């Protein structure tokens, strides 16, 4: 098919040309004397994006899933209890990982389309007077449903209940796109991945540990080797890694951090909000609804859109791909066939979103969904033009 594929899945995201160029480097000696000149400022600037001064940043040659495991195995011991709310495929997978490595999991199912229920969390933490819960796991942005939870609110609940548990946040599809404040919210481990807001290929798990989490790592009894932060702490101190790093990803990360910091994080968040709002206007004009049930849950990085009864969302996705070369995100697990997802994060502008909406609109019409041609794109155009 002529022209480029429109990649509108919520990760991997489009990679800006300057990052592609930065990654296009010959292989180099990762033990060279000048290698720390690349590594040390990277770890320093990564902390700016995570909004932490007191925490310690890590870069693992892995993905977000490893980030979940790094958080848990470096701070906890087999049998420890963790608390998690399940409201989408990614909160489910983190819970499943915790269970499979031998943690005791206390979890509650929440309607897919809602986020972390702060009132229920407060009751649960209050009831845990012996402080058996050692960590609260919070999925900041549930990519499967397009729901963003209130992490500042989670911290407040932990504070008012005087609960000493560690707070771990999955920011894989929020960090670098949606406001995230590690220090202000007293997050103990922040987990991110390279292929979303950081606009890189998959293959980098970026994290930060608070001082409290670093202290917990001294007594954590999970066996660990490849994912052990101690080996990174020892090597990173001198600007190196305990094993061969992916140097193209490191060069790409350098450019990614430059782009985000030059634009300014608040401007990055505002851009994502505005682009997301245009997509939401289109959804409304089509007469369709989001999986996120209330505006307070709306995600600025991904919209999961429900198709009408009797329509299989997978047909919309296949039509968009096969006829229009537009890649939309599939519905996962409980919402498979019920939703399709438009990712609006990373290197995007108004016209990128209009491309996604145009392809989607044609696919919706082809699948027999009763919408007015141009209605969604028109609503987004109106919104973008009036808010330039
Ligand atoms: C919120 C969230 N957490 C974790 C993951 C897992 O990351 P990875 O696929 O990089 O292992 C994803 C992937 O999409 C995600 O969206």
* pLDDT higher than 90, residue 206: yes
Q: Which of 362, 317, 360, 357 is nearest to 337 (CA)?
A: 317
**Ligand 1 pocket, residue 345 CB under 6 Å:** no
**Ligand 1 pocket, residue 18 CB under 6 Å:** no
Mean pLDDT in residue range 202-224: 98
Alpha-carbon distance 46 to 43, whole Å?
Answer: 5
> Phi and psi at residue 71, in whole multiples of 5°?
-60, -45
Mean pLDDT in residue range 186-200: 98
Q: Which of 305, 281, 246 is nearest to 353 (CA)?
A: 281
**Ligand 1 pocket, residue 52 CB under 6 Å:** no
| Average pLDDT score, the chain | 98
Q: What is the pLDDT confidence band of residue 166, given thresholds at 50, 70 and 90?
A: very high
- What separation in Å is there between the alpha carbon of 142 and the centre of ligand 1? 9
Length of the chain: 388
**Ligand 1 pocket, residue 88 CB under 6 Å:** no
Mean pLDDT in residue range 318-345: 97
Q: Look-up: residue for tokens 């796109």?
A: 177
**Ligand 1 pocket, residue 96 CB under 6 Å:** no
- What separation in Å is there between the alpha carbon of 60 and the centre of ligand 1? 15
Mean pLDDT in residue range 59-63: 98
**Ligand 1 pocket, residue 284 CB under 6 Å:** no
| Cα angle, residue 133 at apex, residues 106 and 84 outer, rounded to 5° | 40
Alpha-carbon distance 104 to 108, whole Å?
Answer: 13
CA R_g for the chain: 21
**Ligand 1 pocket, residue 172 CB under 6 Å:** yes
Q: Which residues contact 351 (CB under 8 A, 6 or more apart)?
A: none
- What separation in Å is there between the alpha carbon of 1 and the centre of ligand 1? 30
Which of 12, 60, 62, 63 most suits a substitution to test ligand 1, by most atoms within 8 Å of the C-beta? 63
- What separation in Å is there between the alpha carbon of 127 and the centre of ligand 1? 31
Mean pLDDT in residue range 218-239: 98
**Ligand 1 pocket, residue 170 CB under 6 Å:** yes
Q: Which long-range contacts (CB under 8 A, 24 or more apart) does 375-381 make?
A: 375/282, 375/285, 375/286, 376/281, 376/282, 376/283, 376/285, 376/286, 377/282, 378/285, 379/278, 379/281, 379/282, 379/284, 379/285, 380/278, 380/279, 380/281, 380/282, 380/353, 380/354, 381/354
Question: Tokens at residue 18, please?
Answer: 């300057």
**Ligand 1 pocket, residue 193 CB under 6 Å:** yes
pLDDT in tens, 271-303: 999 999 999 999 999 999 999 999 999 999 999
- The residue whose C-alpha atom lies closest to atom 9 belonging to ligand 1 is 64
Q: How far apart are the first and last CA of the chain?
A: 33
Q: Which of 103, 104, 75 is nearest to 166 (CA)?
A: 75
**Ligand 1 pocket, residue 146 CB under 6 Å:** no
- The residue whose C-alpha atom lies closest to atom 15 belonging to ligand 1 is 172
On whether the CB atoms of residues 343 and 14 are closer than 8 A, the answer is no
pLDDT in tens, 353-365: 999 999 999 999 9
Q: What is the pLDDT confidence band of residue 36, given thresholds at 50, 70 and 90?
A: very high
Mean pLDDT in residue range 88-100: 98
Q: Look-up: residue for tokens 């969904």?
A: 369
pLDDT in tens, 129-162: 999 999 999 999 999 999 999 999 999 999 999 9
Mean pLDDT in residue range 247-262: 98
**Ligand 1 pocket, residue 143 CB under 6 Å:** yes
**pLDDT in the model for residue 1:** 84
Q: What is the pLDDT confidence band of residue 86, given thresholds at 50, 70 and 90?
A: very high
% of residues, the chain, pLDDT over 90: 99
Question: Tokens at residue 28, please?
Answer: 């180099």
**pLDDT in the model for residue 250:** 98
**Ligand 1 pocket, residue 90 CB under 6 Å:** yes
Alpha-carbon distance 195 to 203, whole Å?
Answer: 8
CA-11 nearest atom, ligand 1: 14
- What separation in Å is there between the alpha carbon of 138 and the centre of ligand 1? 13
């Amino acid at each position: 098919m002529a022209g480029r594929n429109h990649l509108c899945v919520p990760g991997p995201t489009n990679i800006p040309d300057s990052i592609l160029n930065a990654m296009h480097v010959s292989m180099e000696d990762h033990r060279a004397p000048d290698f720390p000149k690349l590594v040390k400022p990277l770890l320093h600037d990564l902390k700016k994006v995570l909004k932490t001064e007191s925490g310690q940043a890590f870069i693992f040659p892995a993905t977000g899933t490893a980030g979940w495991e790094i958080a848990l195995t470096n701070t906890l011991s087999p049998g420890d209890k963790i608390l998690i709310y399940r409201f989408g495929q990614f909160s489910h997978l983190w819970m499943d990982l915790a269970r499979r490595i031998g943690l005791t999991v206390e979890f509650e199912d929440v309607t897919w389309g809602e986020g972390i229920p702060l009132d229920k969390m407060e009751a649960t933490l209050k009831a845990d007077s012996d402080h058996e819960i050692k960590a609260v796991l919070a999925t900041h942005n549930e990519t499967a449903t397009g729901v963003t939870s209130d992490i500042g609110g989670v911290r407040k609940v932990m504070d008012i209940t005087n609960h000493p548990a560690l707070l771990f946040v999955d920011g894989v599809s929020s960090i670098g796109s949606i406001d995230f404040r590690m220090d202000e919210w007293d997050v103990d481990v922040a987990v991110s991945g390279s292929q979303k807001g950081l606009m890189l290929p998959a293959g980098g798990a970026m994290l930060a540990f608070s001082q409290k989490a670093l202290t917990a790592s001294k007594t954590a009894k999970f066996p660990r080797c490849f994912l052990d932060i101690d080996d990174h702490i020892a090597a990173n101190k001198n600007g190196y890694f305990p094993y061969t790093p992916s140097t193209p990803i490191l060069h790409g990360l350098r450019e990614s951090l430059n782009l985000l910091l030059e634009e300014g994080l608040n401007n990055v968040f505002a851009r994502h909000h505005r682009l997301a709002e245009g997509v939401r206007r289109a959804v409304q004009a089509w007469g369709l609804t989001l999986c996120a049930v209330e505006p307070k849950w709306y995600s600025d990085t991904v919209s999961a859109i429900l198709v009408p009864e009797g329509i299989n969302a997978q047909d919309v996705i296949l039509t968009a791909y096969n006829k229009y070369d537009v890649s939309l995100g599939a519905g996962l697990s409980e919402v498979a066939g019920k939703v399709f997802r438009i990712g609006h994060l990373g290197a995007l502008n108004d016209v990128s979103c209009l491309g996604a909406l145009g392809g989607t609109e044609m696919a919706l019409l082809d699948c027999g969904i009763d919408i007015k041609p141009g209605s969604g794109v028109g609503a987004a155009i109106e919104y973008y033009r009036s808010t330039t």
